[in-house]
Amino acid sequence: MSRFTVPASSKSWLPVAAESDFPIQNLPFGLADPKGRNMSVVVAIGDWALDLSVLSEAGYLDGEEFPLLDSFIELGEGRLSDLRRAVYDLLEESNPRLRDNKKVRENALVPLEKANLQVPIPPVSFVDFYSGVHHASNVGKMFRPDQPPLLPNYKWLPIGYNGRASSVYASGTKIIRPKGQTKGANDAAPEFGPTREMDFELEMGFYLSQGHEAGKRVTTTAAEDHMLGLVIVNDWSARDMQRWEYQPLGPFLAKSFGTTVSPWIVTLDALEPFRIDGMAQDPAPLPYLRNHGKPHFDIGLEVWLKSAKMKKPQLVCRSNMKNLYWSLAQQLAHQTSNGTPVEFGDLYATGTISGEEEGTYGSMLELSWRGQQPITLDETGEKRTFLEDGDTVTMRAYAQGDGFRVGFGDCSGTVAPAV
Instruction: Please say whether the beta carbons of 32 and 115 come within 8 A.
Output: yes
The four Cα atoms 61, 65, 67, 70 give a dihedral, to 10 degrees, of -60
Instruction: Please say whether the beta carbons of 133 and 154 come within 8 A.
Output: yes
Classified as helix, coil or strand, 225 is: helix
- Triad 135, 139, 141: Cα angle to 5°: 115
Q: Say how far apart CA 317 and CA 359 lie, in whole Å.
A: 5
Q: Is 135 a catalytic residue?
A: yes
Q: What distance lies between CA 163 and its chain's CA centroid?
A: 15
Name the maximum alpha-carbon separation found in the chain. 74
Calculate the alpha carbon distances from 90 to 51, 55, 258, 353, 403 in Å: 13, 10, 38, 37, 22
* Catalytic one of 135, 226, 296, 334: 135
Q: Say how far apart CA 415 and CA 299 lie, in whole Å.
A: 27
Residue 26 dihedral angles phi and psi, to the nearest 5°: -100, -75
Per 3-state DSSP, the chain is made up of helix, strand and coil in percentages (nearest 5) of 20, 25, 50
State the catalytic residues.
Answer: 135
